[in-house]
Structure 1
Amino acid sequence: MKFYVIGDVTVDHLYYLDALPDPGAEVAPRRASMQPGGAGGTISVTLARLGHSVTLAARVGDDPFAEYALAQVRESGVSESAIQRDPEVLTSTITVLQTPGGERAMISDGAANRLLDPAKLKKRDIETADALIVSGYSLTEGPQREYALKAIEIAKAAKKNVPVFIDLGTGAVNKVGTKLVQDVIGADYLTLNQHELLALTGTGSLSAALAQLGGAGARQVAVKVGKMGSVVWSPEETELVDSVIPEKPVVDSTGAGDTFTAAFAHAVLNGAPLAKAARAANAAGALAATTVGAQSREITAADLERALGR
């Protein structure tokens, strides 16, 4: 299958702490790591490792971080034909502070990604794809938002069926709030976590939030609910899909949600019904969390079959 992905590529600075620091405090991490990341990069890399042809649309700076941010993208064979270079603005970075108890704080700089130039979008690239995947961060602001909306419009108008997957992110929902609904409601498939769903709809429960999305015209939704797995919803069904426990312990959840989205799209395009696609996505997200870094754990179709067969 041929995927076109719009989203960020970043350099992730990961710090594992005993506790999040108070203002003005200086603390030493248990360990620290620098890894390639970003929703667009992680989704693209996962899809490529699952055997698909992938083109990634993102923008990086003309700096040393650019090559590092794209290292796994390049190694996995993702096409860089839609990668843009910015001569002035730096490659995006994210600093993640994480505790053993699961608390996490992030400092995120959209930087070059937000300047993705819509004039360079090639209509044929969207029309010939088998699916378009858009990260919610791409819909927050700047030229990148225009690029993403233009791509969605092309996909919807294409003569062949080009399903649109939109994956939200906490930072995107926190920044735009309930106004983001108007941009994502027309997606063929919407993926997001429980916190994002409640913030997006301004509701206090999963059932109320899904009912509101349904009333607004949502088609098919997959909600990530952490250790419980995921909930899939369509006008015809609502089902809790159990989590998949990996053989190795979970050490880092960075990028697990993006991996979930990639595996979900992979399964859907291979003909899986919603619940079965979500089960595969649960497995992929769990496997991704067994190594440090959003893109460190290579997940293949065989890996998914083994995890689902246990």
Structure 2
Amino acid sequence: MKFYVIGDVTVDHLYHLDRLPKPGQEVTPTQASMKPGGAGGTISVTLARLGHTVTLAARVGADPFADYALSHVRGSGVQDSAIQRDSQYLTSTITVMQTASGQRAMISDGAANRQLDPAQLKTKDIEGSDALIINAYALTEGPQRAYSLAAIAAAKGAKTPVPVFIDLGTGAVNKAGTSLLNDVIAADYLMLNQHELQALTGTGSISAALADLGAAGAQRVVVKVGKMGSITWTPTDTELVDAIRPDGQVVDSTGAGDTFTATFAHAVLNGAGMSEAARAANAAGALAATGIGAQERPITPADLADVLPGVAVPQVAAPAPKATRSRKTPAS
């Protein structure tokens, strides 16, 4: 399968703490590390490691961090033809502070990512893909927002429409608020967590938020609900899909949601229904959290089969030649 991914690539500075510092306090981490990250990078790397052909659209600076941010992207075979370089803005960085109890604080800078130039978008690359995946940070501001909206229009307007997966992020929803709804409601698959769902709709419960999304025109929604697993929703069906407990200790949740998104799209494009795809994604997100860094724990089809005994997780098929390959929008 061919995926086109739009999202950030970053260098993540990770600090594991006993407690988050109060204003003016200095604390010593129990562990500190620097890893490649970013939603776009993590989604792309996960899909490539699952055997897909992936093109990533992102923008980095002309600084030493750029190559490091892209190291796993390149190492996993993601195509970099849509990676742009910026001579003015730096490569994006994120500082993540988290405790063993799950408390978390972040400092992020969109930097070069937000300058993704829409003039360099090649719509034929979107039209020739089997799916478009966008992280909502790419829809918040700047040229990157224009690039993402143009890509969605290209996917929807293709002779054979390309399925669009949009994954929200807490920072994106906090920044854009309910105005983001207009940009994401046309997604074939909309993925978000409980906080993002309620902030996006301005409601106080999951059920009310899903009702509002349905009234606005949403067709397929997946809500990540942490230790409970995930909820799949369509206008005619709602299902809670239980979480999967992986072998190994959960040490870092950075990138787990992005791994969930990539795995969900992988399963759907290979014919899985929504609940089966969510079950595979639950497992992949949990496995990702057993490694430190968003892209450090590779997810493979064998991993998914191991943690889902008795469930047929679709395997990646070799893509057919372009001249004869057909594409159809996955059913819910």
Q: TM-score range by the shorter chain?
A: over 0.9
Q: Structure 2-normalised TM-score?
A: 0.93
Q: C-alpha separation between the residues in 2 aligned to 1:270 and 1:71?
A: 28
Q: Show the counterpart of 1:290.
A: 290
Amino acid at match of 1:94: I
In the other structure, the counterpart of 2:208 is 208
Cα distance in 1, alignment partners of residues 12 and 59 from structure 2: 16
Counterpart CA distance in 2 for 1:237 and 1:199 is 23
Q: What is the alpha-carbon distance in structure 1 between the residues aligned to residue 5 and residue 256 of structure 2? A: 17
The whole-number CA distance in structure 1 between the counterparts of 2:61 and 2:301 is 33
Paired with 2:63 and 2:301, the residues of 1 have a C-alpha distance of: 35
Instruction: State the match for 1:168 in structure 2.
Output: 168
Contact 1:126/1:155 (8 A) holds in 2: yes
**Do the aligned residues in 2 keep the contact of 1:192 with 1:223 (CA within 8 Å)?**
yes
- 2:156 is the counterpart of 1:156: yes
Task: Find the counterpart in structure 1 of residue 256 from structure 2.
Answer: 256
Q: Deviations for 1:240-296, whole angstroms, at most 9, x for unmatched residues? A: 000111011111000000000000000000010110010000010000000100000
Among all aligned residue pairs of Structure 1 and Structure 2, give the percentage whose two residues are the same amino acid: 74
Q: Which amino acid in 2 is paired with 1:26? A: E
1:23 aligns to 2:23 (yes or no): yes
Once the two structures are TM-superposed, the CA of residue 134 in structure 1 deviates from its matched residue by: 0.5
- Number of aligned pairs? 310
SS of 1:176's partner is: helix
Cα distance in 2, alignment partners of residues 99 and 277 from structure 1: 30
**Partner letter of residue 15 of structure 1?**
Y
How far apart are the structure 1 equivalents of 2:161 and 2:129?
9
> 2-side partners of 1:245 and 1:161: how far apart?
36
Following superposition of structure 1 onto structure 2, how do residues 141-290 of structure 1 map, counting pairs within 5 Å?
A: 141-290=141-290
In structure 1, stretches of 5+ residues that fail to align are none
CA distance in 1, matches of 2:126, 2:255: 25
Q: Give 1:26 deviation, angstroms.
A: 1.1
C-alpha displacement of 1:208 = 0.4
> Does the Cα contact within 8 Å between 1:130 and 1:161 map onto a contact in 2?
no
Q: Is the 8 A contact 1:4 1:56 kept in 2?
A: yes
Is 1:300 aligned to residue 294 of structure 2? no
- Counterpart-to-counterpart distance in 1, 2:36 and 2:213: 33
**Paired position in structure 1 for 2:100:** 100
Find the residue that maps to 1:309 and give its secondary structure.
coil
After TM superposition, the structure 1 = structure 2 runs for residues 34-53 of structure 1, keeping only pairs within 5 Å, are 34-53=34-53
Instruction: Write the deviation string for residues 169-210 of structure 1: whole angstroms up to 9, x where unpaired.
Output: 000000000010000000000001111001101111000000
Amino acid corresponding to residue 285 of structure 1 in structure 2: G
User: Counterpart of 1:261 in structure 2: which amino acid?
Assistant: T
Aligned to 2:32: 32
- Which residue pairs with 1:115 in the alignment? 115
TM normalised by structure 1 equals 0.99
Q: Secondary structure at the match of 2:23?
A: coil
Shift of 1:309: 1.2
The code of the aligned residue for 1:278 comes to A
| Deviation, structure 1 residue 70 | 0.2
Superposed CA RMSD in Å reads: 0.7
Secondary structure at the aligned position of 1:67 is classed as helix
Structure 1 stretches of at least 4 aligned residues deviating more than 2 Å after TM superposition: none
Deviation at 1:100, TM superposition (A): 1.2
Counterpart Cα distance in 1 of 2:256 and 2:142: 26
Cα distance between partner residues in 2 of 1:105 and 1:27:
14
Q: CA deviation at 1:161?
A: 2.9
Q: Distance in 2 between matches of 1:80 and 1:273?
A: 31
